[in-house]
């Protein structure tokens, strides 16, 4: 006997780029936007995401597609997790209001579509180097580079796993 289970509700938070603008209308402001690969989610990621979300009433997280990750030069075997898997893991986090993706080398198009009040990246990004900073500041928003509390990295984690 086969039992059918409903889809997890967090999957409703995954939004195709073409549907993003329509879904944004339902989100309370101020809106936070952040992006990244988030290939193997670790403590550094979830701490940053929680801190970013605390800067607004809702948060959109945009993930690099698999092809976009490969172009970043993180290694031939990256990403380890597919976009579909990374989207599902991110959407399951309470701090993410909506999760989408971008195939370009930068998330600028998603930033322009979202028009966030707060643009956030991790402490390895100086504000002036964060893609979208100028645009966000021009419409009255702010850009924040959140210092790392936990010095973690997916690349270092994968190197450790390989050594074991």
pLDDT, one tens digit per residue, over 1-56 is: 567 777 788 999 999 999 999 999 999 999 999 999 999 898 999 999 999 999 99
- Would the pLDDT of 162 be above 90? no
| pLDDT tens profile 120-148 | 999 899 999 999 999 999 999 999 999 97
Q: Is residue 67 part of a domain?
A: yes
Q: Is residue 1 part of a domain?
A: no
Query: What pairing do the DSSP bridges indicate for beta strands 118-122 and 98-102?
Result: unpaired
Q: What are phi and psi of 99, to 5 degrees?
A: -130, 130
Q: Is residue 2 part of a domain?
A: no
- 40: domain CATH number is 3.40.50.620
Q: Is residue 18 part of a domain?
A: yes
Does the CA dihedral 64-68-72-77 come out positive or negative? positive
Q: Using CA atoms, how far apart are residues 23 and 101, in angstroms rounded to an integer?
A: 14
pLDDT of residue 2: 65
Q: Is residue 96 part of a domain?
A: yes
Q: Is residue 130 part of a domain?
A: yes
Q: Is residue 128 part of a domain?
A: yes
| pLDDT tens profile 61-110 | 999 999 999 999 887 888 999 999 999 999 999 999 999 999 999 999 99
0.85 exceeded by pTM: yes
Q: Is residue 112 part of a domain?
A: yes
Range of the domain at 140: 9-163
Which is more confident, 149 or 68? Answer: 68
26-56: b or e for each residue (b if 16 or more CB lie within 10 Å)? ebeeebbbbbbbbbbbeebbebbbebbbebb
CB atoms within 10 A of CB 164: 4
**Structural domains in the chain (count):** 1
């Amino acid at each position: 006997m086969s039992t059918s289970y409903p889809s997890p509700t967090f999957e409703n938070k995954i939004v195709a780029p073409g549907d993003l603008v329509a879904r944004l209308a339902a989100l309370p402001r101020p809106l936070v936007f952040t992006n990244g690969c988030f290939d193997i989610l670790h403590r550094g990621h979830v701490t940053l995401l929680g801190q970013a979300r605390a800067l607004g009433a809702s948060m959109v997280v945009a993930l690099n597609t698999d092809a976009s990750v490969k172009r970043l030069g993180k290694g031939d075997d990256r990403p380890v997790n597919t976009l579909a898997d990374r989207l599902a893991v991110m959407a399951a986090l309470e701090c993410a209001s909506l999760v989408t993706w971008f195939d370009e080398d930068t998330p600028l198009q998603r930033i322009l579509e979202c028009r966030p009040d707060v643009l956030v990246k991790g402490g390895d990004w100086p504000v002036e180097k964060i893609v979208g900073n100028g645009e966000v500041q021009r419409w009255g928003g702010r850009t924040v580079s959140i210092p790392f509390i936990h010095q973690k990295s997916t690349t270092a984690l994968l190197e450790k796993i390989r050594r074991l």
